[in-house]
Amino acid sequence: MNLLEKKEFLFQTASLLFKKITSLPQDIRPDIKERTGIAVLVREIGTANIVYFTIENPSDAAKFFVSEKAIRSEILEDYASQNSENPDKLKFAGSITIEIDGKKFQFSCSGLKANEDVFIDITLACFLFGLKANVCINMVKDKGGKMPDFYSEELNYLVQLAM
């Protein structure tokens, strides 16, 4: 799959998700930080098949962390950056890897809360490959990747957005 051919589709999907998430009221999605945009990286590991784009105006930190999460996960051979998450050391969740037909595809997002970044990753992977969310989540978990509990009371608002 040529990711450059899918860039506009990925951009439009991520843009819609960003707008939906950030427009939620504070009682549903409490957040003390202003979210100005996101950076998104999708790549086939080990190849030059890669797309990077930003939605609105992400911070310089978001632009940096989108790559850091992906590189850290690849180096540690983790299928989720949540495995090595340590916010005190600025190591955040927000990158996942799934395997399709023997190829590893990595999705990384930065600029929202870590669980929201992962939600965007999962949603992009599902739409790109025509998979259901539970299938994508299990593809990461089956390889030892840690995932947020999207069905918890705290994160259920994300599940509602996906419906």
Of the pLDDT bands very low, low, confident and very high (cuts 50, 70, 90), residue 48 is very high
Instruction: Tell me which residue of 24, 139, 124 sits closest to 79, measured CA to CA.
Output: 139
Q: At residue 92, does pLDDT exceed 70? A: yes
Q: Is 33 exposed, middle or buried (0-12, 13-18, 19+ CB in 10 A)?
A: exposed
Task: Please give the backbone phi and psi of residue 54, each rounded to the nearest 5 degrees, phi first.
Answer: -120, 150
Q: How confident is the model at residue 78 (pLDDT cuts 50, 70, 90)?
A: very high
pLDDT number for residue 163: 60
Q: Mean pLDDT score of the chain, rounded to an integer?
A: 94
The whole-number pLDDT of residue 116 equals 95
d(CA 18, CA 68): 20
* Domains, the chain, ordered by start: 3-162 (3.30.450.150)
The answer, yes or no, to whether residue 113 has pLDDT greater than 90, is: yes
When comparing pLDDT for 85 and 163, which is higher?
Answer: 85
Residue 115 scores a pLDDT above 80: yes
Residue 157's pLDDT is: 86
State both tokens at 35. Answer: 């979210």
Q: What does the pLDDT read at residue 156?
A: 82
**Amino acid residing at 21:** I
